[in-house]
Structure 1
Amino acid sequence: MVLLVVIVTATLTYKRLDDFVSATTGRHINPIGEVVQAVEPSPGTIAYKLKHGQQVNILLLGRGGEENDAPYLTDSIMAVTIDPATNRVSMVSIPRDLVVGMNLQSNSSRIWVNKINAAYEVPLVSIICCVAAQYQGRDGPGLAAEHEVGKVTGLTFDRYIAVDFVAFRDMVNALGGVDVCLATNLDDNEYPDYHNGYVSLHFKAGCQHLNGEQALEIARSRHAIQPDQSSDFGRARRQQDIMQAIKKKATTVNGFSKAPQLLGALQKNINTDMSLSDMRAIYDWGKNLPDASIIRAALTAPSGAADGNLLDSYNCGMGPAVSQLCADDPSFGMIHRYIASLLIDPAVLGEKAPIQFANGANNYPGLDGRVTTMFDPTGLQLADPVGHGAIPQTQILDYSNGQFPLTSKWLAGFFGATVVPATAANPAPARGQQTYGLVVVIGHDFARHWLGQ
């Protein structure tokens, strides 16, 4: 989305560009300042960070807009980290139903428990009183969302971008549609229409060309009859696939020719605190970034189709009748650790160590599957998880005779574990356990950390 905004603005006349920047950021272009920033960006700006190899964090928000009965709730939430040191990007989807204790009022000790998708809405409607001064004004909603998503992820955001459904739909149409591939059919008989009712959606598995409304339907669908599509992971994957398709289409020659139409799609229905210098810097850095350099992850709970990872479904503050998701670690400490570790050192990944997770924590059945799901997007070489006899402390069993030192060190650091030399016979392997590479036997200690204990 950031790249798309820049591509659009880069092909417009100055007047139209100034109109666009003013409408989306609330500020007019300062030509002299932009030239200065381009030559030597100020410390702390996105351009400066990218130039000096520092990570940049951007919060992407998709909200309903005026066509929706809840125009300010953010239906899509993605935390994007750009790492110029390794030329990679991570995209983490946060489900809208995740419950958080928000402290957005002038008295910061006052906590309002609600779903995280309400954070952007707080400064715009009279849900709670006494919203703190830093969350008021034009960028107040975006800053409020940054604050709450930052508590969950452990990230400090440099900028935010909020786009409503109208802009999303019109943007895809302005590009002439996008190509998206579905792993399975998607049939949803409870998709909300624009008249407080429902319509049925039917998309077949495989690659297809989508117009704006179809792309929006695939991104928003929550009640598909196919388990793979109805899960939080499936929904996050579809949204990220569509973002990738938009980026791919917009960076083609044909995408450049659509700049005037794209401007009209974006100008009225996007809010951001980015400057033109920010946009240009991100475009210059990432215009040729291959898809393989983008790590895509999601915070999820178990469903019929997947193990999930760091979340669960139960009543954690919204009442027993409300659908909600809750962090297994109420302090979000384990989520912080995970997100901080997503962009694994390429030297570690380069060892291509065969890794398997075995659950020796009988105080948390299924933890091996959750950890495997958690690390699936990272590039580690993972086997199917297995059960194991109970152990109190997590161990890294090294069957390689020290062949993978960087991976062993990284795993030991993440899990707080000891690396133990192993042979095919000693210690005796669990049923289905591999006896080569590295095996992480999860102990009770890590299970307690997982739960924030």
Structure 2
Amino acid sequence: MLVLSVAGAGWWFYERLDGNIRTDTRTADELRKYEAERPVSVVRDAQNILLIGSDNRGGKGNGKYGKDTGTQRSDTTILLHLQAGGKSATAVSIPRDLMVDIPACDQPDGKRTHARFAQFNSAFEAGGAACSIRTVEKLTGIRVDHHLIVDFSGFKRLVNAVGGVEMCLKEPVDDDDAHLKLPAGRQVLHGEQALGYVRARYSIGDGSDTERIGRQQEFMGSLVKKVQSNGVLLNPAKLYPVLNAATSSLTTDPGLDSLKDLYALVRGVRDIPREKIRFLTVPRQPYTYNKNRDELVQPDADRLFRQLRLDRPVPVAHTVTASTDGDQKAGNLSPYQGTTAARGICE
């Protein structure tokens, strides 16, 4: 959301910044090969963008998060649905440990993987963004129009460029794996701290991936709020370093590989009210055969995917109660547990 928000405001920097963006032509080529099996778009002008946070540890200071093995997995994956007409934005997190059907995918060395049932994040490791996109499309029935990839270094540059992001820590954080030590209360997190915070798991709360995803969603909401409220979009002195960090951090498909393309996409996004920018996670529960993995909760997941596919609003609430068959038969979609960019960080 940050990249989309700030890119549209920097049109006058086009010539200098346009060359920063890396184009993922390999993914585009592979997706063309499998066009016949991909879902079709149902609603014109609605957009579905797959945001991939790669755990690539290359770059200064990232070795402490683990050895750079030359391979990478999707540390965070979000399906961002932009409603036609710029009415709303819905960001749906897909847990890395969700068990899914992964299709046979092409590898960079020319070899081909076998179709299998496995953890979602292994799709990116096996076949890059194309494999992740095809897996998401198979899971949801939603066509992915574009994708954006940001790695560890890019994430840190983006956060530093906006001057840090304020978060509310309900308890102190002391995480050796994330190299993070913070007191409880309001904190402004800068690049290295922010990366450690959104990746920390076992030392915060109940140690679950569910809580980590919730923190990531709160962080994104605070990030959007920071960019919309502190004059970044209207102040060239503040805007340029943010745009430079954003464009230097991106790998995109050919449809989004210039500031012109990004600008066309975000003109209707930057003015979406914060309460209409929603964050939630696919409905899931512990996997039947391995409690350390997740599986979808049905029919809740299919109802969510159908709402997005048909470009309909998805209600969210911080606390939800179980829906009833009567509610669904009456056509009332119960809220999904989630949050919005309007929610205060200490609420």
For residues 165 and 209 of structure 1, the distance between their equivalents in structure 2, rounded to whole angstroms, comes to 19
Per the alignment, residue 91 of structure 2 pairs with 91
For residues 264 and 292 of structure 1, the distance between their equivalents in structure 2, rounded to whole angstroms, comes to 28
Structure 1 residue 335 displacement after superposition = 2.0
Structure 1 residue 211 displacement after superposition = 0.8
Per the alignment, residue 103 of structure 2 pairs with 103
Q: 1:85 to 1:287 in 2, by over 3 A?
A: closer
- Contact 2:103-2:115 within 8 A present in 1 as well: yes
Per the alignment, residue 59 of structure 1 pairs with 50
- Contact 1:179-1:209 within 8 A present in 2 as well: yes
**Which one of the candidate residues 258, 263, 278 is aligned to 1:280?**
263
Coordinate RMSD, CA, aligned: 3.6
**Which one of the candidate residues 145, 148, 153 is aligned to 1:166?**
153
Number of aligned residues: 298
Per the alignment, residue 295 of structure 2 pairs with 326
For residues 5 and 81 of structure 1, the distance between their equivalents in structure 2, rounded to whole angstroms, comes to 18
TM-score by length of 2: 0.72
- Matched AA of 2:118: N
For residues 116 and 74 of structure 1, the distance between their equivalents in structure 2, rounded to whole angstroms, comes to 9
Structure 1 residue 232 displacement after superposition = 3.1
2:173 counterpart SS class: strand
Per the alignment, residue 10 of structure 1 pairs with 11
Q: 1:278 to 1:7 in 2, by over 3 A?
A: closer
- Contact 1:152-1:335 within 8 A present in 2 as well: no
- Matched AA of 1:312: P
Structure 1 residue 177 displacement after superposition = 1.1
Structure 1 residue 314 displacement after superposition = 4.5
Q: 1:101 to 1:408 in 2, by over 3 A?
A: closer
For 1:37-436, list aligned pairs within 5 A.
54-65=45-56, 66=58, 67=62, 68-69=66-67, 72-85=72-85, 87-105=87-105, 110-123=114-127, 141-182=128-169, 184-185=170-171, 187-192=173-178, 199=179, 201-205=181-185, 207-227=186-206, 230-251=207-228, 252-254=230-232, 256-273=236-253, 274-276=256-258, 277-299=260-282, 309-315=283-289, 323-328=292-297, 334-341=300-307, 378=316, 384=321, 395-396=325-326, 409-411=330-332
For residues 25 and 312 of structure 2, the distance between their equivalents in structure 1, rounded to whole angstroms, comes to 39
Larger radius of gyration: 1
Percent identical pairs in the alignment equals 26
- Which structure is richer in relative contact order (CA contacts within 8 A, separation 6 or more)? 2
- Contact 1:78-1:91 within 8 A present in 2 as well: yes
1:396 counterpart SS class: helix
Structure 1 residue 82 displacement after superposition = 0.8
For residues 241 and 73 of structure 1, the distance between their equivalents in structure 2, rounded to whole angstroms, comes to 23
For residues 268 and 288 of structure 2, the distance between their equivalents in structure 1, rounded to whole angstroms, comes to 42
Per the alignment, residue 35 of structure 2 pairs with none
1:114 counterpart SS class: strand
Structure 1 residue runs of 5 or longer lacking an equivalent are 28-48, 124-140, 193-198, 300-308, 347-374, 387-393, 398-406, 416-453
